[in-house]
Amino acid sequence: MSSTYTRRDFLKTTSFSAILAGTSCMAGKLGSLDTPMFDDINKTVNTYCEMCSSRCQVEAKVKKGKVTFIQGNSHSKGMNTSICARGASGHSQLYDEQRLVKPLIRVGKRGEDKWMAVSYEEAFNFISEKLSKIKKEYGAKSVLFSAKTGEQFNHLATFTSLFGSPNLFSHVSTCPITYKVAFHHTYGAGLKRDFSNSKYILNFGHNLFEGIAVSKTKKFAKAVNKDSCKLVVLEPRFSIVASKADEWHSVKPGTDLAFVLSLIHVWLRDGKYDKEFVKNYTVGIEQLIESTKTTTPKWQEKITGIKAEVVERIANEIYAAAPSCIIDWGHKTTTGQSEFQRTRAILVANALMGNLEKEGGLFFGKKAKTVNKIANMNIAPTISNPDKHIKIVKDLRIDRASQKGDNIFVSRKYGVLMDIPDAILSKKPYEVKAWVMTRTNPLITVANPEKMKEAMNKLDLIVVNDVYMSETAQIADVVLPEATYLERDEGIQDISSKAPAYMMRNKVVEPINKTLTSYEIFRTLAKKMNIDSKYKWDNINSYRAHQASGNIKLLEKLAKDGYVSFGIPSLLYREKSYVDKFVEKYPSASSNLDENGLFTKMIKFKTPSGKIEIFSQTIEDAFPGYGVPANHDMDVQKGYPYIITSGKTAIHTNGHTQNIPYLNMLMSDNPVWINPITAKKENLKNGDKIFLENSVGKEKATVFITEGIRPDTLFVYMGFGRDSKELKRADGKGTCQSKLLPLDKGPVCSTMITNTGVKITRA
Amino acid sequence: MKKKFRMIHDENLCIGCQACSVACRSENDVPDNVFRMQVQIETKGIFPDLKMNMQRHSCVMCEDAPCVTVCPTGASFQTKDGLVQIDHRLCVSCKYCVVACPYDARFMNPITKNIEKCTFCYSNRVSKGLEPACVTVCPTDALVFGDINDTTSEVYKKAKESNLLYPKANLGTKPKVAFVPNKKGVSYE
Ligand code: SF4
Ligand code: SF4
Ligand code: SF4
């Protein structure tokens, strides 16, 4: 017998109840202005999206001065006209009445939501006076700066350095830090995945069908839809990716490390790995043999819940498909304490299969500089960073990132957001007085927001730059409205893959109410504070011209098409057919060929040994026992009956889009997934209100009973459970998982832990 | 030759992302909180033997269209290309068609009080040689649209290589939206 559980509940379906139009409009939001005037322009602009961090190339249509339709930019082959729901909703954010369009200075108490709308000039005067005073009394390092990575982050980083503070933070510690650190210590640099040609993909919850990046998603969807490609997914919940798999194994959260160690055990036990590759390109296989001696398929069975035979079979299948196989490290996946070991084990597993620079495997990005070197001539223009000479301040940071201790492997550009509350509250290593941030909302996206808020309330100055009145903006002293990406010109971005490519953001319409972009905000502030003598540029056009070293043709092409590639054939150093095509087009490249007619000389690992480090002495020295992938820290339950995990939906981006009209109309809530067995045990029915509770906090939730989750695990989509009453559509709806997360960090890479134990109590 | 339009929704490629639904809203000025189309996701089975189906929910452009048959004013009609459209000048919003449609595809526009549904973007795109908005944006190319009489068209090729099914085929309404049924279920040992 099979019963049907529908997930329609997540989508709000056709209904005729009109929403209540917001009648009270806070001064400062778009709704408080008279209807904006639109000029009579009809045009199409090619640019790139910022509704999430994937930054897909898009085309925006303007009718009578108003953006009416957004689709993929067909100049970019990987995109064609495709886009995702969030990307297609860009204009719904742009014209949202609840969007901020005037700078605000707080007049009441913190969090009281009393504001005075001011001009940018007044806001800049206020900020620069306060910052100068704090800098004079407590030193520049007493001011923190943070932003989501991207071009805005780079401009903020420059400002931070000129201001003199070492305390720069990106969002990386809350998301992609693990694979960044793991790659650095294994291959010396990051790699890319050739999904299109792969014959076997082992996926650990890398969620490209919900955490969308359009061109990657398209390649992945088409590859796994072919009979010639097998997809195996290990994930606690039945996600969309799991639903497209040939096999899904509902692994216990945090334990997939055991599965990978056991795969490695089988390969090493049976001698089924690329011995030639391992001999030529790696160090540390002996240590790996030693550390995986006991990690047998039987051993992992008890830990992961996956049968030993399954591991044996999958190990053989992958070896048979190698090197056309991908063991996918994901983006941010299980995220317990074992995350670093798991990711390192995956990277090592790929090395054993010898899939580097092979079709259907892994490859290095081929930027202009690299292909020019191979071709021995300039076949693609290079771009440079106009702020390169402005160096990050190397003072003691509050989180001691890149200094001896827990965070030694964390770059000074990333920092560790989870270390901020303790540093502020303990005043160690020194006092923090202010926090300046752009497009980041730590009160939703970072663990233990209660503690974060307590710490923030100790500060003398909080400056928030955002499109919406976020939770964090609510407790700020100054809120600067930011021009959305459709209202911004920006610099050139390198997006090279198997061949070089660039994209550029082009303004689609003039900013509503003349809101400023974040580069204008920080460039102006720098000028005002007299710390701008090192800037080589004044406005975005001079910034772009510096990037392109005066290459007008390149700039013109990017201004028109938003994207440019150079007709250079795709290159994989160890694939004969790819190398031949490249040499045929650029005969001068032949001097770089090896005796097999390949470009193996071009394979270089920026690690201490110059090889792929299966064993890393650097890690071992700093974190004894972690130098080689081994069995560590797989418990995420911590004595509670259930594990709560979170993940993405294709309809929203982290903590940013929940209030955007089009997207809110599709999904405005995130009920918690509970298996029927669990529901029965806890005596719950669909729609019941419950609390999820642990030592960190207690958070309300609505029950959604589904077969698509393990009985010991609960799941919510991230970014809901908002509490800013200015986000009128999203406020108060759903569950914020962050409120249950401890400020713990994963060892070695300092990643935020997002799987944790909870119990269920009745509301 | 008369055009024979078909839209194919490949449930194996579809990821239920709703880009199609948002593009439809933008292109056709669909008012807040009503939808001309959505893709609904349905999870079936008992843990861990599960399957997830993606179903397009919209007008399917019936050849034998009950909405046209019941319309008392002739407002609901078929173009010469066989696409069901609504002439708003003739529509008196009596809602017979809303009730008659077995696909639950019609609704009343809460602002204009007109009856609306998916039009295949006929007047605004298809008649100008463009594809419907939903087809244009789909990130996985799960939607294919065109004239199936044209042997060089994508839709012809797709129809040839796939096993097409029609929603509620037993009703005999002969829809022009076909789907490639979901083959992916999960084998678990
Ligand atoms: S995935 Fe969607 S939201 Fe993200 S950048 Fe691409 S189109 Fe925009
Ligand atoms: S846009 Fe394509 S993949 Fe997304 S829901 Fe619609 S048909 Fe499916
Ligand atoms: S699906 Fe409904 S609205 Fe569309 S043609 Fe058929 S009966 Fe008419």
Tell me the mean pLDDT in the region A206-227.
Answer: 97
Are residue A391 and residue A471 in the same domain, yes or no? Answer: yes
**pLDDT above 70: residue A17:** no
Q: How many CB atoms lie within 10 A of CB B89?
A: 7
Please indicate, yes or no, if residue B137 is contained in any of the structural domains. yes
Determine the pLDDT at residue B189: 40
Are residue A549 and residue A412 in the same domain, yes or no? Answer: yes
Could you tell me the distance, in angstroms and rounded to a whole number, from the CA of residue A646 to the centre of ligand 2? 23
Ligand 2 atom nearest to B16, measured from its CA = 5
Tell me the mean pLDDT in the region A270-280.
Answer: 98
Give Rg (Cα) of chain A.
Answer: 26
A54 Cβ inside 6 Å of ligand 1: yes
- Any CB–CB contact under 8 A between B170 and chain A? no
Please indicate, yes or no, if residue B185 is contained in any of the structural domains. no
> How much helix, strand and coil, in percent to the nearest 5, is found in chain B?
20, 25, 55
Domain boundary among A513, A543, A563: A563
Tell me the mean pLDDT in the region A709-719.
Answer: 97
**Is the Cβ pair B16, A221 closer than 8 Å?**
no
Are residue A591 and residue A558 in the same domain, yes or no? Answer: no
Q: Number of Cβ pairs closer than 8 Å across A and B? A: 180
Tens digit of each residue's pLDDT (9 = 90 or more) over A199-215: 999 999 999 999 999 99
The domain that holds B78 is classified in CATH as 3.30.70.20
**pLDDT above 80: residue A382:** yes
Tens digit of each residue's pLDDT (9 = 90 or more) over B174-183: 999 999 999 9
CA of B96 to nearest chain A CA: how many angstroms apart?
17
Determine the pLDDT at residue A334: 77
Tell me the mean pLDDT in the region A493-513.
Answer: 97
Determine the pLDDT at residue A35: 63
CA of A417 to nearest chain B CA: how many angstroms apart?
31
Determine the pLDDT at residue A15: 37
Work out how many domains chain A is built from and give that number. 4
**Residue A694: pLDDT band with limits 50, 70, 90:** very high
What would the two tokens of residue A308 be? 């030993």
Please indicate, yes or no, if residue A322 is contained in any of the structural domains. yes
Q: Output B3 or A60, whichever has higher pLDDT.
A: A60
Q: Compute the half-sphere exposure of residue A135: CA atoms within 13 Å on the CB side of its CA.
A: 16
Please indicate, yes or no, if residue B186 is contained in any of the structural domains. no
Nearest CA to ligand 3 atom 4: B59
Question: Which is nearest to A232 in space by CA: A246, A243, A244, A221?
Answer: A246
Determine the pLDDT at residue A13: 54
The domain that holds A441 is classified in CATH as 3.40.50.740
Please indicate, yes or no, if residue A583 is contained in any of the structural domains. yes
Tell me the mean pLDDT in the region A363-372.
Answer: 98
Please indicate, yes or no, if residue A488 is contained in any of the structural domains. yes
**Residue A38: pLDDT band with limits 50, 70, 90:** confident
**pLDDT above 80: residue A188:** yes
Tell me the mean pLDDT in the region A746-759.
Answer: 96
Contact A502, A351 (CB under 8 A): no
CA distance A430 to A138: 9
Average pLDDT in chain A: 94
- Any CB–CB contact under 8 A between A68 and chain B? yes
Question: Which is nearest to A509 in space by CA: A488, A540, A492?
Answer: A488
Residues of B in contact with A11 (CB under 8 A): 18, 38, 40-41
User: Collapsing DSSP states into helix, strand and coil, what is residue B45?
Assistant: strand
Are residue A348 and residue A442 in the same domain, yes or no? Answer: no
Determine the pLDDT at residue A635: 85
Segments in chain B below pLDDT 50: 188-189
Are residue A587 and residue A614 in the same domain, yes or no? Answer: no
Contact B76, B67 (CB under 8 A): yes
Could you tell me the distance, in angstroms and rounded to a whole number, from the CA of residue A54 to the centre of ligand 1? 6
**pLDDT above 50: residue A1:** no
Q: Residue B107: give the domain boundaries.
A: 5-180
Tell me the mean pLDDT in the region A737-756.
Answer: 95
CA of A673 to nearest chain B CA: how many angstroms apart?
13
Are residue A579 and residue A471 in the same domain, yes or no? Answer: no
Please indicate, yes or no, if residue A635 is contained in any of the structural domains. no
Are residue A241 and residue A295 in the same domain, yes or no? Answer: yes
Please indicate, yes or no, if residue A92 is contained in any of the structural domains. no
Tell me the mean pLDDT in the region A169-187.
Answer: 97
Are residue A571 and residue A546 in the same domain, yes or no? Answer: no
Q: Residue A595: give the domain boundaries.
A: 368-380+566-602
Please indicate, yes or no, if residue A402 is contained in any of the structural domains. yes
Are residue A648 and residue A512 in the same domain, yes or no? Answer: no
Please indicate, yes or no, if residue B189 is contained in any of the structural domains. no
Are residue A466 and residue A502 in the same domain, yes or no? Answer: yes
- pTM for the whole thing? 0.95
- Any CB–CB contact under 8 A between A62 and chain B? no
Are residue A398 and residue A541 in the same domain, yes or no? Answer: yes
CB-nearest partner of A2 from B34, B45, B104: B45
Are residue A533 and residue A652 in the same domain, yes or no? Answer: no
Please indicate, yes or no, if residue A224 is contained in any of the structural domains. yes
Determine the pLDDT at residue A24: 55
CA distance A467 to A482: 5
Determine the pLDDT at residue A12: 62
The domain that holds A237 is classified in CATH as 3.40.228.10
Work out how many domains chain B is built from and give that number. 1
